[in-house]
Structure 1
Amino acid sequence: MTTVTKLLPAPVIDETARLLTEHYVFPDIAEQVAGLLRRRLAEGAYDVDDAEELARLVTADLQSVNGDRHLRLKHHADAVPPKRGAATLEAMRRDFDASLGGAPLVRLLDGQVAVVELAPMLFPLEWAAEPLSAAFTVASRARALIVDLRANRGGDPDTVAFACSYFLDERTHLNSMYWRDGDRTEQSWSLPHVPGARFGGSKPLYILTSGSSFSAAEELAYDLQQLGRAVVVGEPTLGGAHPCNGWTVHQNLEATVPVGRAVNPVSGTNWEGVGVRPDIPCAATDALDRAHALALARLTD
């Protein structure tokens, strides 16, 4: 039987503020936000006894300074383990098992145009490599490809690089990530070899986005767009370019704190706060038909 821990807002706020100041990728902003949380606590703004309500209130304040959508106090209905990131990982695994490994749809449209949907996440590469390789290998025979990220809410940067590798012919610098820990920068490159067959770097490639596409899904669209490899069709994305870690601060609450920021080698910046801007703007519900029509037109040129 699970023991229910009484919600005491003060320890949750104190620990969240500490995590911010120690780990947030922008130290100056961390100090501002931590100070705001402590002021709001002293004012009684967090005097609630419901964990979900506290998560809502604190998240609004966390995001109020610079709009970082990765900076959150997340509520979990089930008790979460104390190990860092364990709550998020458990939820990911449930979604992975329910979505054929993150590639729930592969189909062929008229004109030999394939569609691969990647949803609801780009799961950790050690899980996702096999199902994604299978999906991309099947699609490699198509004359054009549409990758549907409209329902994808993010995931693993290593999986982004793995996916991009199927759409490029040569090893390519995709992205760089600055990490506060160690004040260091790591480069992300496409892979020289992939399991299965590549779609390759020359056939028409389209990526569908929506206002819900987030984080690693945005990186996949942005990386290929900046390289001139893919045409992005749909809506501007949500705008989260900061990878984060999660820490349990109460049995039902997890503080997610961005610990790095993306720097694209082509643009010199990223999609934080502005989203990935589509090359062909349209409603997300119309994006598939629009991309299919574009692909057919290009194939008949």
Structure 2
Amino acid sequence: MTTLTKLRPAPVIDETARLLTEHYVFPGIAEHLAGLLQRRLTEGAYDVEGAEELARLVTADLQSVNGDRHLSLKYHTDPVPPKQGAAALHAIRRDFDTSLGGAPRVELLDGGVAVLELAPMLFPLEWAAEPLSAALTLASRAQALIVDLRANRGGDPDTVAFVCSYLLDKRTHLNTMYWRDGERSEQSWSLPHVPGACFGGSKPLYVLSSGHTFSAAEELAYDLQQLGRAVVVGERTRGGAHPREGWTVHPHLEATIPTGRAINPVSGTNWEGTGVQPDIPCAAADSLDHAHALALTHLAG
């Protein structure tokens, strides 16, 4: 455990407050939260035994105003480099190497229905393009497809667009990111061409969700749902729609701060705080059976 002899809360809080006021997508809330952190520091609320406990307390305070689940002080067991974003990359590379690049399961069920699990996250596209292309190409010959996002905790919006490109017939506007300065926006579109074979935009498509499905995985489910391309089966997702950046503020602590907000071109809003609402609500553990039955019925019809 990192003790107070190695961890002084004040520099961590000062730097986190500074990053909030400079980068958080909602400047007014940033000022309020920065003041809250400084007040709690003065009160001695952060005089705890180690970095992990400090991360828990600060995260609870950061999320106490608007419930932004991307806003946190994240604890890392292993020391992480000081470079911006390095903490996240350091942590997820191991997951990439042990999950077949984020596509740990491709299986053909009865009736020509394929299951493609994307977990534990949608990894950076420069890593994930090859394994995802292989998995999606393999599933492309199925009569119906079930994309399992129940254990997916988020990832890269570019990877969302890449996956969608295999599931649509034409280039499609998926999402728009609006950044803090209010002057910049960035549209996300499916790609006109991808390596391998596409499942396409006409065969039955189902997406499995759970209370653990988060962030970019929610965007994948939400984009396909809003386009009328997929039926979402399972549980309401966690509700995190703000893209974030990460800054190392201590060798074991990363301040994760949303720098933008996502707006869907169909709904005109996003899933922040509400989660993605399933079309067919059921327990996550039962969702695969439900989706398979729906697919078989559709194909039989």
TM-score range, shorter chain: over 0.9
Q: Which moved further from structure 2: 41-50 or 110-119?
A: 41-50
The C-alpha deviation readout for 1:20-65, integer Å capped at 9, x for no partner, is 0000000011011111101101111001130000000000000000
Q: Which runs of 4+ in 1 moved over 3 A?
A: none
- Report the TM-score, using the length of structure 2 for normalisation: 0.98
Asked if 2 retains the 8 angstrom alpha-carbon contact of 1:181 and 1:259, the reply is no
The C-alpha deviation readout for 1:142-195, integer Å capped at 9, x for no partner, is 000000000000000000000000010010000000111573111100000000
Q: Does 1:36 align with 2:52?
A: no
Amino acid at match of 2:236: P
Stretches of structure 1 that go unaligned for 5 or more consecutive residues are none
Structure 2 residue aligned with 1:231: 231
Whole-Å Cα distance in 1 between the matches of residues 183 and 24 of structure 2? Answer: 12
Asked if 2 retains the 8 angstrom alpha-carbon contact of 1:77 and 1:252, the reply is yes
Amino acid at match of 1:56: R
Amino acid at match of 2:211: G
Using the TM superposition, give the Cα deviation of residue 92 of structure 1 relative to its aligned residue in structure 2, in angstroms.
1.1
Asked if 2 retains the 8 angstrom alpha-carbon contact of 1:5 and 1:251, the reply is no
Using the TM superposition, give the Cα deviation of residue 124 of structure 1 relative to its aligned residue in structure 2, in angstroms.
0.2
Q: Which moved further from structure 2: 174-183 or 73-82?
A: 174-183
Amino acid at match of 2:105: L
Q: Does 1:74 align with 2:87?
A: no
Structure 1 residue aligned with 2:105: 105
Structure 1 residue aligned with 2:118: 118
Whole-Å Cα distance in 1 between the matches of residues 140 and 294 of structure 2? Answer: 19
The C-alpha deviation readout for 1:200-249, integer Å capped at 9, x for no partner, is 00000000000000000000000000000000000000000001000010
Structure 2 residue aligned with 1:268: 268
Q: Which moved further from structure 2: 178-187 or 132-141?
A: 178-187
Amino acid at match of 2:295: A
How large is the Cα RMSD of the aligned pairs? 1.0
Asked if 2 retains the 8 angstrom alpha-carbon contact of 1:80 and 1:251, the reply is yes
The C-alpha deviation readout for 1:64-88, integer Å capped at 9, x for no partner, is 0000000000001111110001010
Instruction: State the identity %.
Output: 82
Structure 2 residue aligned with 1:205: 205
SS at match of 1:64: coil
Structure 2 residue aligned with 1:142: 142
SS at match of 1:100: coil
Asked if 2 retains the 8 angstrom alpha-carbon contact of 1:164 and 1:190, the reply is yes
Using the TM superposition, give the Cα deviation of residue 5 of structure 1 relative to its aligned residue in structure 2, in angstroms.
7.2
Whole-Å Cα distance in 1 between the matches of residues 279 and 198 of structure 2? Answer: 24
Stretches of structure 2 that go unaligned for 5 or more consecutive residues are none
